[in-house]
Amino acid sequence: MKNQLLNQIKFFNTQKTKDYQFRINQLQKLKQTIIDNEEKITSALYKDLKKSEFESYTTEIGICLEEISYHIKHLKSWMKNQKVKNPIIFPLSESFIQSEPLGNILIISPWNYPFNLAISPLIGAISSGNCITIKPSEISIHTSKIIKEIIESTYNKEYINVILGGPQKTSKLLEQNFDYIFYTGSENVGKIILEKAAKNLTPTTLELGGKSPCIVDSSCDLDKTARRITFGKFLNCGQTCVAPDYLLVDKKIKIKLIKKIKENITKFYSTNIENSNDYGKIINVNHFNRLINYLDNQKIIFGGLHNKNKLFIEPTLININKKNINSKIMTEEIFGPILPIIEYTNIDDVIKIINSKPKPLAIYLFCNNKYIEKKVLSETSSGGVCINDTIVQLSNQELPFGGVGNSGFGKYHAKASFDLFSNKKSVFKNTTIFETPKRFPPYNKFSLKIIKKIFN
């Protein structure tokens, strides 16, 4: 492993990866290999998570192709030195910010969107001119194997390398001196990564999860709200970092909303959900057991059926009241198809509940009321906010994606990815034609007076 990184450092030092055309060629190669292997990727995603072809394309393959195209289109302008103003005491100087690659990047990715979450940061790391090591999840075993296969058939290991393995392998990797670590996964492992990175003073991005609340105000469009919540919660069987974790619903519309969510579940996945081609499965038995435990002593108002052999858990709605507000399901990230529902009568109580928990990755708000919208935006903190929809905030490449507080730090996607994997080198170039008077010793009262005037 050590030799492998040394080879990458050597390759980085050849300066090849910094060239604009080199970067474009590598992005084009990545695009082509993804297109060529679309079937294999789709089949691996089906084996790991029973993802439908449509979801595999929209949330994993297509989104990566779109990201690559965006980088190809904008890379030239992103790479340009960014001129900035000069101080008046150095009137003929030049100042600019140069984006230079950080060097050797380590990407550690999770199992829930196993292709997208390994490839999307890779795109940014390529476009900013780095060498890369990817450590995909050992849990989504089929997709991880395909990632290794297609990367190895497309690039030299000195440039991009894929290492398969679990926590032990990752620990060994973390002993190496990478220039940057990009980690997506759970909060607990995030802490381990950060601790190890600190030993080498390696800067790190942590893309974590948490409990993303979904507020439903009585002013919302109820039909669209129910449909969009059902989509965002049960996509990938609820195993989405930005899935609405729990609902906070205005008491006045709670019964109507629940009725409509139930109708949408049936519309989306039929009455025989277990056999629906559009409904995924839980990744493995450990996660299945973890999720089933959440159902203990809860008031299930819809769903709850499960089948361990098929790793199937029905979309499930749970009523939360004062008695179970502090149960495990309300303190841990659910990461599965179970949706707790809490009613409220006052938006201030909603804000209190959200602010009593760690800062989430996303807050969802369904409302057509400017006052409520403004209040939620200004009185809560989260990685992002999506109003009147779920998940689709990720479709806008102009919006950087990432968390805040316990949901992580560092933002990526499109330009934000290019910036994340670049060192923004500040360059100041003074003129030799002219000398700023009074700047050198011996100092006197007059020069101090002038300097004070300028500074003020």
Q: Which residues bind ligand NAD (CB under 6 A)?
A: 108-112, 117, 135, 137-139, 166-167, 170-171, 184-186, 189, 192, 207-209, 241, 333, 335, 361, 403, 408
* Contact criterion met (CB below 8 Å) for 341 and 226: no
195 conformational bin, left if phi > 0, alpha if psi -120 to 50, beta if neither: alpha
Shortest-Cβ-distance residue relative to ligand NAD? 209
**Phi-psi category of residue 206: left, alpha or beta, with phi > 0 → left and psi -120 to 50 → alpha:** beta
CB of 289 to ligand NAD, least distance (A): 14
Structure tokens belonging to residue 231: 């989509």
Residue 241 catalytic?
yes
* Residues contacting 437, CB < 8 A, separation 6+: none
CB of 240 closer than 8 Å to CB of 110: no
| Least CB distance to ligand NAD at residue 405 (A) | 13
Residues in the chain: 456
DSSP assignment of 77-125: HHHS-EEE---TTSTT-EEEEEEEE-SEEEEE--SSSTTHHHHHHHHHH
Out of 241, 314, 333, 367, the active site residue is 241
Could you say which DSSP state residue 149 is in? H
Closer by beta carbon to ligand NAD, 31 or else 211:
211
Both structure tokens of 233:
């919660």
- Residues 207, 314, 333, 343: which is the catalytic one? 207
207 catalytically annotated: yes
Nearest partner of 372 among 385, 391, 362, judged by Cα: 385
Spatial strand order in the sheet of 82-84:
82-84, 94-101, 422-429
For the CB of residue 437, give the shortest distance to ligand NAD in the complex, in Å.
54
Alpha-carbon radius of gyration of the chain: 25
Amino acid at residue number 387: I
When the beta carbons of 112 and 127 are compared against ligand NAD, the nearer one is 112
User: What does the alpha-carbon distance between residue 33 and residue 28 come to, in Å, rounded to a whole number?
Assistant: 9
Give min distance, CB of 335 to ligand NAD, in A.
6
Q: Which two tokens stand for residue 41?
A: 């990727």
Q: Which is nearer to ligand NAD, 192 or 377 (CB)?
A: 192
Rounded to 5 degrees, what are φ and ψ at 18?
Answer: -85, -20
Smaller CB separation from ligand NAD, 114 or 129 = 114
Task: Residue 413: name the closest of 146, 148, 74 by CA.
Answer: 74
97 vs 139, beta carbon nearer ligand NAD: 139
Show which residues are catalytic. 207, 241
